[in-house]
Amino acid sequence: MIKSILIINNHGKPRLIKFYEHYSEEKQQQIIRELFLLVSKRTERSCNFLEIGNNSNIFDKDTKIIYRHYATLFFIFCVDSSESELSIIDLIQTFVESLDKCFENVCELDLIFHIDKVHYILDEMVMGGLVLETNPTIIFSNYEIQNKLEKAENPLLSGLAGVMQTIKPNK
Amino acid sequence: MSSKLRDLIKTVRSCKTAAEERSQIAKESALIRTAMKEEDLESRQRNVAKLLYIHMLGYPTQFGQMECLKLIVSPSYADKRIGYLGLMLLLDEKQEVLLLATNCIRGDIMNSNQFIVGVSLCAFGNICSTAMARDISPEIEKVISHSNPYIRKKAALCAIRVLRKVPDLTENYIPKIKALLSERNHAVILTALTLIIEICEMDSTQIIHFKKMVPQLVRILKSLTSSGYLPEHDIGGVTDPFLQVKILRLLRILGQNDPEASDAMNDILAQVSTNTDSTKNVGNAILYECVQTIMTIESENGLKVMAINILGRFLLNRDNNIRYVALNTLSRVVNTDIQAVQRHRNTIVECLKDPDVSIRCRALDLIYSLVTESNIRVLVRELLNFLLIADAQFKSELVAKLCIVTEKYAPNKRWQIDTILRVMSIAGNFIPDEVPSNLIQLISSTPELSSYAVQKLYLALKQDITQQPLTQVGLWCIGEYGDLLVADKSQLPKDEDGLSLNVSEQAVIDIIDLIFRHATTTQATRQYSLTSLAKLSSRFSQSSLQRIKTMIDNYKQNINLELQQRACEYSTLFDFDKKASILDRMPPIEKQEESPHIGNKNIPTQTPPQQHYQQQQQQPQQQSSQFGSILDGLDSPTQSSANSGNNNNNNNKQGGNAMSLLEDIFGSAPTPTSNGNMNNNNNMNNMNNNMNNNYAMGGMGMNNNNNNSMGGMMNNNNNNNNNNNNNNNNNKSQASALLDIMGDLQLTPTPQQPQSQSQQALSPTNQTSVLQPVPQPLTFLVYQKHGLNISYECSKPQPNNLSLTNINMVITNTGSSPITNFSLQAAVPKYLKIQLLAPSSTVIPPNNSGEVTQVSKVLNSQQGQKPILLRLKLDFQINGQPFSDVPDTPLPSLF
């Protein structure tokens, strides 16, 4: 199972954080910092895997870090031992290809200003820490259809506004 | 009105300092809160999007949770989409707010719009709680068979989430899975496989449901491998590698320990491992999974060889990722086929030199399991090289492993000592606690190497005294073998790499002095230094004595209590003539692990090695408290030095002594040498005892923490039965004591042997502190009334644990009518524990024509001080007339 998916830039700034296990905000930031320390000091020739082992008080013992470095960004997947390391490498590639399709030559700025969209794309690929779809084309088309759906109802939205004011969830 | 998302991001990014960023975020959060309070519908989506950004930066966003709930109940898809996204990120399954979303999610899952179903399933799959899983499971069961594959694949993953939360629901899903597998959509098959794997891993009894799917899985895999180029599923020239990997993984689970299922897989596995293109990562991912499957299931041997060869190829790959997984897999399969892995040993050793720490780690694990007697010298040399460059975090693990393999496979003791010394001098302060004590144990049990070892250690100390464990071992050895260190070695024949240093006493004392003064020396090491000095005082010539005394005296006022106490004790010790025997060489230390756990609950049977070691170091001090008993240990080289502790970890030893004693007395004649020893020992004993009495008095004023044990000593002398202290006596005193006991009981028909008597005569004081020997099994009548006779056959089942007594109650009937409905219950005082088994019968035949037995076990927590006392409650009938009695049945006090 995938425990978390993060995109961190070369300076340690998070560009996407998605945790499939519950952590407090503090812990999440701690993980981001720790991950950045771990991956940023590795050379390009090093393998893309890092084991946590017993020495960390931040990660589970059964945690493997699998990452890839693209230009200014680290794509980091924390997984448990049931995932195949090499498959996750391919999955990262799939993710990047999907982003590339959706943003047309994706760059760091796209991720910064469209954090919601990045999440939508990710949700079409991984759900609850498990792989949902591995085909970038299908991921892209599902994402596009939903965007169109959203746009199509936009004029409606203002008309509904008055009605919605009366709807309140029960507390 | 709050700003646009883009503006917020720009503002935050332009912040120069963290404080500025914080204040910007705080300002924005306040604006968002106000907007939420005012129910500003237009900015709703934007506000949640902003919260996502703020959340990513690590600022609190809980206040947005309700807003997300409001968005998901909106009929608009755009609202729902961002609402669910916010729900997933800002909430977690532990939030109670989530319960409010349950109904909405349930409704959305049944919505007619596939994308509304999609987003709600996605949120459910990410954050559902146990309660929610139970509530919504029926809906998931419905949509898992939905006509739309987009919904089916999400539902399959939601099912996993449900089952993780509520495993009892598994049965509901199993019938639905088969349909998912016959699907054409690859993503649905993939998620279905994930679901099956999850079920199998949660509960291995479920695997049986899926065994019949093997042919179907093989078919899918075959069509994937043999299909040509399929553009919609192609990744790097391979058809859907993710699906292939998943199928291989499930086959692994289904084929494990199942020859029949494995047989069905052989062909396809062979096909996959030969036909897969290994030039790209995707192909290697499949091969990697395939190899693991081959090695796990009951596959053909030829296939296994092929798999190992694939790993061999992986090892030579330039890509570090591939080498990493190869090492990883090899260490998993090393137990199946060690020879095949050995072939790649050189390549694996090369991996130790890789700059990549992940590779080094994996290689290290693997090498560790490859070590054998034949290759240990080579491999350990490589490991030592690695130790030099290893990161701090690996050092202690590596040291532990090195020590284990060295101990297990060392070709000889000298090599072992050399290696461990080298480990200690490299790894310095990363050494696990047991390493120094093991080394000391090794040195002390190898007398022929003690001169060599002490010289090596001396050299090591001359180079570096900052590594505490090494320094401590060095000090211990110098203390013990100082005479060998300074001995003139020019006369001795030199062996090939033997050392013959000429070291002066002054130089040795200098180095100890240096250790004392060195800033990095810990208090524990200073304690070692003091003990070492004290020991040296009896090994070095008179000329050095004054200097040693002065050095020890310096610590008499030390602020550290432990040091002060030791210094005082040692300097007091110098005033006695007999100190030589106290400071004598330690007998070989027995290995802790060899003493079995003994079921004696009163006394800790094991001490951690470090403590044990400390105790040895503190020997002279403990001698003062433990009386002559320890000195006996020092004097007789045959006895376990574990005596020094006041624990019972030499119980078995003691038991052994006692047993052999019984032999001595009741039959086999003792050997002459031991006789000689005994006499000698007893003489020494007396002297030491006396001396120590004095010494103990002298030291009493300052020995706060010894008072207890001194009390114990008195007790010991007076009561003659303190088990702890009794451990430590030598054979002869046991013998004499045993004879006493036997004499008292008038049970011993064996004539006393002459030398034992002489022992007795020689050691009057020892009689007062004797070891309690194992008493002879004993039978005596405890009850006789109404024709009912009860006798006890008592025995000690464990010679090393006297507190446990077996009592076999034998019940007979001398009357003329049978005793029926017999029941015997027993009660004991608090210090005893009793276990009473059922009687062999409740009817006792008349006229002594048969007996009934009832077994009980008694554990005496105050063995030797208080006797075993049983109060019985007897109920029985004779000729239908009920009788009942409550007699007390004490055992002889010695039992």
CATH number at residue A28: 3.30.450.60
A169/B49 CB distance under 8 A: no
Q: B239-242 — which CB contacts under 8 Å span 24+ positions?
A: B240/A134, B240/B186, B241/A87, B241/A90, B241/B282, B241/B283, B241/B285, B241/B286, B242/A87, B242/A90, B242/A91, B242/A131, B242/A134, B242/B190
Of B121, B71, B65, the closest CA to residue B92 belongs to: B65
Q: A58: which chain B residues are within 8 Å (Cβ-Cβ)?
A: none
Could you write out the three-class secondary structure of B698-712?
HHHCCCHHHHHHHHH
CB contact (8 A) between residue A47 and residue B285: no
- Name the residue among B203, B13, B101 with its Cα closest to residue A109: B13
pLDDT at A77 over 90: yes
Does residue B681 fall inside a structural domain? Answer: no
Q: Using 50, 70 and 90 to split pLDDT, how confident is the model at B466?
A: confident
B852 domain-assigned: yes
**Domains held by chain B: number:** 2
Joined together, the tokens standing for residue B500 give 């013959």
Average pLDDT estimate for B573-589:
70
Q: What is the mean pLDDT of residues B132-137?
A: 92
With b for 16 or more beta-carbon neighbours within 10 A and e for fewer, the B498-530 pattern comes to: eebbebebeebbebbbebbeeeebeebbbbbbb
In this structure, of A144-158, B490-504, B513-527, the range with the lowest mean pLDDT score is B490-504
Q: Which residue is it, tokens 């049977």? A: B605
- pLDDT reported for residue B775: 62
B805 vs B673, more confident: B805
Structure confidence at residue B218 (pLDDT): 93
Closest Cα in chain B to A23: B92
Pairwise CA distance, residues B349 & B366, whole Å: 9
Helices (runs of H) and strands (runs of E) counted in chain B: 41, 11
How large is the average pLDDT for residues B466-482? 86
- Which position has the higher pLDDT, B878 or B641? B878
Q: What is the pLDDT of residue B750?
A: 42
For an interface test with A, give the residue of B15, B56, B364 to mutate (most A CBs within 10 A). Answer: B56
Number of structural domains (chain A) is: 1
Task: Report how far residue B813's alpha carbon sits from residue B791's, in angstroms, rounded to the nearest whole number.
Answer: 12
DSSP letters, B314-366, are: HHH-S-HHHHHHHHHHHHHHTTT-HHHHHTTHHHHHHHHT-S-HHHHHHHHHH
Tokens encoding B491: 């006369």
Q: Is B881 exposed, middle or buried (0-12, 13-18, 19+ CB in 10 A)?
A: exposed
Query: Given pLDDT bands bounded at 50, 70 and 90, which one contains residue B798?
Result: confident
In degrees, rounded to 5, the angle at the alpha carbon of residue A64 between the alpha carbons of residues A60 and A70 is 130
Enumerate residues 6+ apart whose C-beta is below 8 A from A11.
Answer: none
Q: Find the range with the poorest average confidence among A101-105, A155-159, B183-187.
A: A155-159
Helices A115-125 and B44-56, axial angle in degrees (round to 10): 80
Produce one character per residue of B460-495: b if its CB has 16 or more CB atoms within 10 Å, e if not: bbeeebebbbbbbbbbbbbbbbbbbbbbebeeeeee
CA distances from B344 to A43, B306, B376, B675, B805 (A): 26, 14, 16, 60, 59
Angle, helices A136-166/A115-125, rounded to nearest 10 degrees: 120
Under the banding of pLDDT at 50, 70 and 90, the label for residue A154 is low
Of B555, B583, B611, the domain-final residue: B583
pLDDT tens, position by position, B282-328: 889 999 999 999 999 988 888 888 888 888 888 888 888 899 989 98
Residue type, position B875, single letter: D
Question: Residue B637: what pLDDT?
Answer: 39
CB burial of B380-407 (b: ≥16 within 10 Å; e: otherwise) equals: bebbbebbeebeeebbbbbbebbbebbe
* Dihedral (CA of B56, B58, B60, B62) sign: positive
Does residue B39 or residue B691 have the better pLDDT? B39
Tell me whether residues A164 and B41 touch, CB distance under 8 A: yes
In this structure, of A93-102, B149-158, B824-833, the range with the lowest mean pLDDT score is B824-833
Q: Is B724 helix (H, G, I), strand (E, B) or coil?
A: helix
pLDDT at B580: 59
pLDDT class of B538 with cuts at 50, 70, 90 = confident
Phi, psi of A137 (to 5 degrees): -65, -45
Burial group, residue B168, by CB count within 10 angstroms (0-12, 13-18, 19+) = exposed
Cβ within 8 Å, pair B125-A42: no
Where is pLDDT greater, at B232 or B524?
A: B524
Would you say residue B193 lies in a domain?
no
Does any domain span residue B45?
Answer: no
Residue B663 is predicted with a pLDDT of: 43
Chain B touched by A153 (CB under 8 Å): yes
Phi–psi pair at A127, nearest 5 degrees = -135, 130
Domain contains B376:
no
Q: Give the span between the Cα atoms of B245 and B250, in whole angstroms.
A: 9
Residues 6+ apart with CB under 8 A from B826: B834, B836, B856, B870, B871, B872, B873
Whole-prediction pTM value?
0.63
Q: Is residue B460 part of a domain?
A: yes
Identify which of B71, B115, B61 has the alpha carbon closest to the alpha carbon of residue B92. B61
- Name B821's Cβ contacts closer than 8 Å, sequence gap at least 6: B842, B875, B876, B877, B882
Boundary of a domain, candidates B541, B565, B583 = B583
Going by pLDDT thresholds of 50, 70 and 90, the confidence category of residue A164 is low
Q: What is the ipTM of this complex?
A: 0.89
Produce one character per residue of B843-861: b if its CB has 16 or more CB atoms within 10 Å, e if not: ebebeeeebbebebebbbe
pLDDT number for residue B789: 86
Report the gap between the CA of B41 and the closest CA in chain A (Å).
Answer: 7
Instruction: Give pLDDT, residue B726.
Output: 42
Size of interface A-B (CB pairs under 8 A): 189
Strands B819-827 and B832-836: unpaired
Which of A31, A26, A38, A41 has the alpha carbon at shortest distance from A4? A31
Q: Distance, in angstroms, between B358 CA and closest chain A CA?
A: 6
Q: Tell me, what DSSP letter sits at residue B147? A: S
> Of B564, B583, B602, at which residue does a domain stop?
B583
Of A113, A133, A161, the CB nearest to B187: A133
* Spatial separation of the C-alpha atoms in residues B566 and B527, rounded to whole Å: 8
- pLDDT, mean of residues B887-892: 80
Both tokens assigned to B427: 């790894």
* 8 A C-beta contact, residue A89 and residue A68: yes
Q: What is the pLDDT of residues B622-660, one digit of tens each?
A: 443 433 333 343 333 333 333 333 444 444 444 444 444
Q: Tell me which chain A residues have a C-beta less than 8 angstroms from the C-beta of B236.
A: 90
- Mark which residues 9-68 of A lie under 8 Å from B by CB: 14-18, 20, 22, 25-26, 28-29, 32, 42-43, 45-51, 53, 55
What CATH number did the domain enclosing B875 receive? 2.60.40.1230
- Sorted by sequence, the CB contacts under 8 Å of residue B337 that are 6+ apart come out as B304, B308
User: Residue A136 corresponds to which tokens in the numbers above?
Assistant: 């970038």
Q: Is residue B464 part of a domain?
A: yes
Whether A160 shows a pLDDT value over 90: the answer reads no
Calculate mean pLDDT across residues B775-783. 76
**Is A132 within 8 Å of B153 when comparing Cβ atoms?**
yes
- pLDDT at residue B529 tops 60: yes
Closest alpha carbon within chain B to A97: B235
Which residue bears the tokens 């495993």?
B167
Query: Shortest Cα distance from B424 to chain A (angstroms)?
Result: 22
Q: Which residues from chain B sit within 8 angstroms of residue A148, using beta carbons?
A: none
pLDDT of residue B632: 40
| Whole-number average pLDDT of chain B | 76
The confidence score (pLDDT) of residue B615 equals 43
Residue B876 near residue B823 (C-beta atoms within 8 A): yes
Q: Which domain holds residue A43?
A: 2-167
Which of B60, B93, B356 is nearest residue A22 as measured by Cβ atoms? Answer: B93
pLDDT score recorded for residue A144 = 92
Q: State the residue range of the domain holding B548.
A: 402-489+498-583
Other beta carbons within 10 angstroms of residue B234's beta carbon come to 15
Minimal Cα–Cα distance from A31 to chain B, Å?
A: 11
pLDDT of residue B749 exceeding 50: no
Query: Does B341 score more than 60 pLDDT?
Result: yes
